[in-house]
Amino acid sequence: MNKIFETPLYAYRRSPDQDASRPVRHPVVIVGAGPVGLAAAIDLAQDGVPVVVLDDNDKVSFGSRAVCYAKRPLEILDRLGCGAPMVDKGVSWKAGKVFFDERQIFGFDLLPEEGHKRPAFINLQQYYFEEYMVRRVHEMAAAGAPVEIRGRNRVVALGAHDDHVRIEIDTPEGPYELEADWLIACDGANSGLRRMLGLDFVGRIFEDNFLIADVIMEADFPTERWFWFDPPFNRGQSALLHRQPDNVWRIDLQLGWDIDKEEEKKPERVIPRIKAMLGEDVKFELEWVSIYTFQCRRMENFVHGRVLFAGDSAHQVSPFGARGANSGLQDTDNLCWKLKLVIDGHAPESLIASYNWERVFGADENILNSTRSTDFITPKSEISRVFRDAVLDLAAGHEFARPLVNSGRLSVPCVYDEGPLNGPDAPGLPHRSRPGAPASDAPLADGWLMDRLGNRFQVLAIDADAPDRLEEGGIEVEILHLSAEDNPALADRYLGKQHSAVYLMRPDQHVAARFLSWDEAALRAALARATGRA
């Protein structure tokens, strides 16, 4: 078994807070040091907001868990200063194959567009992901950033007040209390904080079980996503094979509802299943085995006064489509800049309501896609199986049926259409870069556009006259002057039919508003709207 699971990454250390005569107040406390909590901590701390992260454990999470990261989250990780080690270690992929019964029915290539720094997807074990983020937190802390992770600090009680939260924490040396102006609950699908507040978590339960086995093997399967419907080695069910770094392969086998979970997890049950799939002669070693069921559900509201829910604690989807961790990273990407503005007094507290609007919108999109995938993979009635099999039979020889095959709709970035912070749009500019959309990357003479964007409000003046600075109510807007001459990717993604454009970009790299030329009054109004001041 991999040593990484056994080494404490943030061992328990006594904090002076535990010896304080009354509970110490912190601006932001984050509960949960998984991918989402760590992303929130890095995001806030690199912007100067002091954060304390509490986790009931002191190690990376056990087993590979979330393994598939999409381009947009990789761009967010770049903004957080930890994209490079993930992409360097991860396995980039863009192709896949779909099998039905005994044969391959088609292969696909996601054909990622040229001119982006980051690939369509990487696969990376969650323990590496967390390790790199923890390393980033430690580097930041060593450089003086106001961030710390407190291992083996379990929150056992919570009291919500109008302008703060009080929590009671258990540690190996006994309990203590803390106060927080804001608390971000990143404590996962079984969120204890959600339960302590007595909040709902409604949705649809899927009556199915899936076996995850991570195996280590030297194999010559290509770096592709392989998905089987009703294969001979797992009759009536589905199967998935995906490559991870270090010769680790993710195998996901659907088992059905009426099974004995403890029995199915035993190596003597698992190994024959894997041999049936890979062949009797393939040498492999089991790294991790787990059985999961899933639900598609979300909280009605992600914002409860000063308690903010993000990631799986707020919403849960099926794993098909890589929409769990990927959407959690988009949550904190959306939340942290708003929280910073509110804490600094540059935006009203009501700006936080837009986090709820935008990320509930994102969660609903993910739940819809995930539910549809699950209904295709696991037909719920006789007629739905008849249509599913008809689609698969046709797909082998007829291209038209392939778009109907749904083995998971892979995560794409969320566009906040009709969002409450969106300002004006202008005619003739590309649809993809409309208000609410995340920026599209483009190559520049000296690097990538995405590396120039984020962490503050910016104006992107493309072949447009613009002054060198803009300040509004304490918010400094950076002006980037760019030219799309000799840059067809930038022209295609930001100008379309027009010859110039001025984009107002949010700190999370989403478009707030856009114009054909510099219009100071309109930009100030759009900035006011994007910060909840109008």
Q: Which residues bind another protein (CB under 8 A)?
A: 383, 386-387, 389-391, 393-394, 400-401, 404
Burial 23-50 (b: 16+ CB within 10 A, else e): bbebbbbbbbbbbbbbbbbbbbbbbebe
Q: How distant is the alpha carbon of residue 126 from its chain centre?
A: 12
Per DSSP, the residues of 122-174 read EE--HHHHHHHHHHHHHHHHHTT-SEEEETT-EEEEEEE-SS-EEEEEE-TT-
Q: Between 154 and 385, whose beta carbon lies closer to another protein?
A: 385
Between residues 405 and 470, which has the closer beta carbon with respect to another protein?
405
CB within 8 A of 195, min separation 6: which ones?
none
Nearer to another protein, 368 or 390 (CB): 390
Q: Which is nearer to another protein, 394 or 525 (CB)?
A: 394
Min dist CB 377 to another protein, Å, is 17
Nearer of residues 378 and 498 to another protein, judged by Cβ: 378
3-class SS of residue 195: helix
Please state the closest distance from residue 381 (CB atom) to another protein, in A.
12
Rounded distance between C-alpha atoms, residue 76 and residue 55, angstroms: 23
Q: How far apart are CA 191 and CA 168, in angstroms?
A: 16
124: its two tokens: 């990376």
CB of 393 to another protein, least distance (A): 7
Q: Is the dihedral of CA 212, 213, 217, 220 positive or negative?
A: negative
Nearest C-alpha neighbor of 69 from the set 92, 37, 85, 88:
92
Least distance to another protein, CB of residue 254, Å: 22
- Specify the residue, 154 or 402, whose C-beta has the smaller distance to another protein: 402
Min separation Cβ 229 and another protein, Å: 15
Residues with Cβ within 8 Å of 145's Cβ and at least 6 positions away in sequence, in order, are 45, 46, 48
Cβ distance to another protein smaller for residue 235 or 497: 235
| Minimum gap (Å) between residue 390 Cβ and another protein | 4
Q: Pairing state of beta strands 165-170 and 176-185? A: antiparallel
Least CB distance to another protein at residue 391 (A): 6
